[in-house]
């Protein structure tokens, strides 16, 4: 058992992206949704993705979009620097499969906004068309970055057939509780480590990295103890 991967989402400044990647995060997200306060113009994205790679080679650049049309596909081209597209709109399972077929050089993640525990049943419909799922709390008229948390008891039996990420209100203080009860493949933080939308607090990000490493190591040690016993 290994620690979950860690993504910090909503970066707007190359210097911050480089510094955050260098702190040891596994992925950095850039928002391509115009309505978001963390939105970054397409012309500025390549420089930010290059900064991520400079900060930590191999750190994943993730472009977050919502309901992309075929006309938007040029902006999703991996030549722009990202390696993952995270779909955060109302994309159907069929649309997810179509996008992955049209652009096979990318990894495709689908975010599901969960309003009630029964919404988790929708995950099975998406699994054939995506490489990973991300769970976030449903908030009216907001697609993400709200800081709202999902109840952990809803997720204790969630075991999809693809890797899954947990988003929503992740802070250094909350991570130990999350990893004591859940085994997500990844954690996605945004507002919990911000001074303002799109402006991260590097000290808080460093604390989050340390918390994930510490809690993940403790969980792994506990699991090993259970097996040996």
The domains of the chain are located at 5-228
CA–CA distance, 169 with 100 (Å, rounded to integer): 29
Going by C-beta distance under 8 Å and a sequence separation of 6 or more, which residues neighbour residue 191? 10, 145, 146, 147, 169, 197
For the stretch 71-130, pLDDT in tens is 999 999 999 999 999 999 999 999 999 999 999 999 999 999 999 999 999 999 999 999
CA–CA distance, 36 with 14 (Å, rounded to integer): 18
CATH class of 5-228: alpha beta
For the stretch 121-145, pLDDT in tens is 999 999 999 999 999 986 655 554 4
Q: Name residue, tokens 């420089």.
A: 47
pTM (two decimals): 0.90
Name the nearest CA neighbour of 25 among 48, 69, 2, 56: 56
């Amino acid at each position: 058992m290994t620690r979950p991967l860690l993504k910090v989402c909503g970066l707007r400044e190359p210097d911050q992206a480089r510094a955050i990647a260098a702190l040891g995060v596994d992925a950095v997200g850039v928002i391509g949704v115009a309505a978001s306060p963390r939105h970054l113009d397409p012309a500025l994205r390549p420089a930010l993705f290059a900064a991520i790679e400079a900060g930590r080679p191999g750190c994943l650049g993730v472009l977050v979009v919502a309901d992309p049309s075929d006309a938007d596909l040029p902006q999703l081209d991996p030549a722009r620097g990202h390696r993952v597209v995270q779909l955060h709109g109302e994309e159907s399972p069929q649309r997810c499969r179509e996008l992955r077929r049209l652009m096979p050089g990318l990894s495709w993640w689908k975010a599901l906004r969960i309003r009630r525990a029964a919404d988790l049943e929708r995950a099975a419909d998406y699994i054939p068309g995506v490489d990973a799922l991300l769970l976030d709390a449903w908030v009216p008229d907001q697609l993400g970055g709200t800081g709202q948390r999902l109840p952990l008891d809803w997720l204790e039996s969630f075991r999809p057939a693809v890797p899954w990420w947990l988003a929503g209100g992740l802070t250094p203080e909350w991570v130990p509780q999350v990893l004591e009860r859940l085994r997500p493949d990844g954690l996605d933080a945004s507002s919990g480590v911000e001074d303002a939308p799109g402006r991260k607090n590097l000290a808080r990000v460093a604390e989050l990295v340390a918390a994930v490493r510490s809690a993940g190591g403790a969980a792994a040690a506990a699991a090993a103890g259970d097996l040996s016993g």
